[in-house]
Amino acid sequence: MRLFVALDLPEWVRDGIAAWGEGAICDPALRPVAAASLHITLAFLGSRPSEQVEPLAEIVRECAVPAPEIVLGDVEQRPLRGRARVYALPVRSEATEALQADLQDKLVSAGLHEAEKRRFWPHVTVARVRSEGRGSRRPAVVERPPKSVPQGLLQPFGGVRLALYLSELQPGGARYTPLAQVDLPEPGRQ
């Protein structure tokens, strides 16, 4: 089972990103991420045996905190130099970074995850770059990068849910199925 833990975005934000993407992500080398799949990955767990799902779900439930305030930045490519592999909206949110650190500590303490060596980069992936051709792992050249995000999507909002997802790779992109989730209360409400 290919698993990850994510912070879900409000529906209006996902829909807004998808609507922007319809006009802004138009290069044939790009594959936009579907609205239902837009999220902030907090921990990619990789392939795990099914008996780890319940201990992982329990840790997700333990991490429920008031919804972190999130501010999206304008679209950028990764890697920053050379051919892009993905386009994403960076996230500015100290509370999201704290949530990720707490989640990672709990997963590592339980022996269910190894801490990432690289620094956590909170972001929402909005498009992936197709490969250059059949059998190639090299990303295609993107001639028309996505256009800037409208100001309405750059306003603060709260995350809504913490979820453990099953990721199933398919020809048209990954399909994510929640295996455990916990709604996050608005700040000030517990």
For residues 67 and 111, what is the distance between their CA atoms, to the nearest angstrom?
26
Q: Which of 166, 159, 156 is nearest to 183 (CA)?
A: 159
Residue 12 pLDDT > 80: yes
Average pLDDT over every residue of 157-182: 90
Amino acid identity of residue 19, one-letter, is A
User: DSSP letter at 131?
Assistant: B
Residue 116 pLDDT > 90: no
Average pLDDT over every residue of 28-43: 95
Average pLDDT over every residue of 98-112: 95
Alpha helices (runs of H) in 25-62, residue ranges in sequence order: 53-62
pTM: 0.92
pLDDT band at 171 (very low <50, low <70, confident <90, very high): confident
Could you tell me which residues come within 8 angstroms of residue 160 by beta carbon, excluding any fewer than 6 positions away?
A: 8, 9, 10, 67, 183, 184
Across the chain, mean pLDDT equals 93
Average pLDDT over every residue of 85-95: 97
